[in-house]
Amino acid sequence: MNIKSNSSLRETLVSYLFLAPFLAVFIIFLGYPMIYSLYLSFRSTTFSTDWYNIFNSMEYVGLANYQSLLTDTRFWWSLGLTLSYAVLTIPSSIALGLWLAILLNNRLKGAAFFRSAFYLPNVLDLYVVGTIWVLILSPNYGLLDILLGKIGLHLPESGLLANPYTALPTIALVIVLKGAGFGMMLFLSAIQNISESIYEAADIDGASWWQKLRYITLPLLKPIILFMIITGTMSALNAFTEIYAMASSKYGGFGGPYIEFQGQSVGATSLSGLYLYQLFERAEYGKTAAFSYLLMIIALIISFANAKLLKVEK
């Protein structure tokens, strides 16, 4: 009995020993910043803060940072815009990824080449992709405008990214095209794991292609669809690089073009990630930390909802 307990204790210690490097990195680079950010969210911090004596120089303001955010028009605008961005990108990404997966699952000639070609944009740097699309979409000299000119059409003189009503949908389209390969690989892998006997039984019953897709394929792909919804929502909440690259200062400042909303000038592409960056840029570190935690709460709610849905599906 003692030998077994000693062996079990030794295995436990060895396990903790292997975990120690990861735990150390986690505590230093994730744990401490999270705790310190929570501390900052209850403090008033600016450029004038004495960063050599931070714990004594920052004024405690309680929930003032949170209250300030919750009464800020730009805060609600950024969240609403982020929700709109998620609605534009998530269903489109799922539909396009599924469509590509179904095409490549039909023993298409050169399927390996097409898989690589469709997936390649997903591994490219987002800032680079955004910059390339800015050049493509540029009026007068952009590739899209040149191609449209062949049939007598042209982009608006100001361009799609300078119009407050087309800027966000245009950026969303770029993100959908870039990430289509990721969804395609997930769906393709899942479809190829569905037993052929299920489809054969459906053929015997006289099921059409649409009926097999609706009653067999889609129900079995629900875990993948839910996964793409949750990851897409997280990406929307953290969206920054694509806005930084494509909605630059030449459109009136990052997050532009700007429009009027409830008497304030707000960016037509000012998503929550960009709003967070702008708070930090203005040295409103307390508000920045508070906003980070509000976003984390939203993300946790979505994660728990997703876990609940997955549990129900199982």
Q: Which domains does the chain have, with CATH numbers?
A: 87-270 (1.10.3720.10)
Stretch among 58-62, 64-68, 236-240, 296-300 having the lowest mean pLDDT? 58-62
Give the distance between the most distant pair of CA atoms in the chain. Answer: 87
What predicted TM-score, i.e. pTM, was given to this entire model? 0.84
- The letter for the amino acid at 27 is I
Please check whether residue 36 is in contact with residue 54, taking contact to mean a CB–CB distance below 8 angstroms.
no
Kindly indicate the confidence band of residue 2, based on its pLDDT and cuts at 50, 70 and 90.
Answer: low
Q: Hey, what are 52's tokens?
A: 């050599």
Stretch among 58-62, 118-122, 198-202, 251-255 having the lowest mean pLDDT? 251-255
If you ran DSSP here, which 8-state letter would residue 195 be given? -
- The letter for the amino acid at 305 is A
Bigger pLDDT: 286 or 309?
Answer: 286
Q: Hey, what are 123's tokens?
A: 């591994």
Contacts of 46 (CB under 8 A, 6+ apart): 283, 284, 285
Please check whether residue 105 is in contact with residue 114, taking contact to mean a CB–CB distance below 8 angstroms.
no
Q: Hey, what are 77's tokens?
A: 């605008």
Nearest to 183, CA basis, from 132, 231, 134: 231
Tens of pLDDT, residue by residue over 20-35, are 888 888 778 878 888 8
Pairing type for strands 258-261 and 264-267 reads antiparallel
Query: 């929550």: which residue's tokens?
Result: 272
Considering 51-60, 172-181, 298-307, the range whose residues carry the highest mean pLDDT is 172-181
The C-alpha atoms of residue 161 and residue 170 are separated, in whole angstroms, by 7
Average pLDDT over residues 92-104: 93
55 pLDDT exceeds 80?
Answer: no
The C-alpha atoms of residue 227 and residue 309 are separated, in whole angstroms, by 10
- The letter for the amino acid at 232 is G
Helix, strand, coil percentages in the chain from 3-state DSSP, rounded to 5: 75, 5, 25
Bigger pLDDT: 265 or 3?
Answer: 265
Q: What is the pLDDT at residue 285?
A: 85
φ, ψ at 59 (rounded to 5°): -80, 135
Average pLDDT over residues 43-56: 63
Q: Hey, what are 152's tokens?
A: 């007598």
51 pLDDT exceeds 70?
Answer: no
Q: Average model confidence (pLDDT) for the chain?
A: 84
Kindly indicate the confidence band of residue 169, based on its pLDDT and cuts at 50, 70 and 90.
Answer: very high
CB atoms within 10 A of CB 43: 21
Tens of pLDDT, residue by residue over 114-130, are 888 888 888 889 999 99
Please check whether residue 181 is in contact with residue 122, taking contact to mean a CB–CB distance below 8 angstroms.
yes
Residues above pLDDT 90, as percent of the chain = 24
Average pLDDT over residues 140-160: 84
If you ran DSSP here, which 8-state letter would residue 249 be given? G
Contacts of 56 (CB under 8 A, 6+ apart): 50
Kindly indicate the confidence band of residue 309, based on its pLDDT and cuts at 50, 70 and 90.
Answer: confident
Please check whether residue 86 is in contact with residue 233, taking contact to mean a CB–CB distance below 8 angstroms.
yes
Q: Hey, what are 101's tokens?
A: 């997966």
Q: What is the pLDDT at residue 128?
A: 92
Q: What angle do CA 298, 302, 306 make, to 5 degrees?
A: 170
265 pLDDT exceeds 60?
Answer: yes
Average pLDDT over residues 245-250: 71
The C-alpha atoms of residue 76 and residue 69 are separated, in whole angstroms, by 8
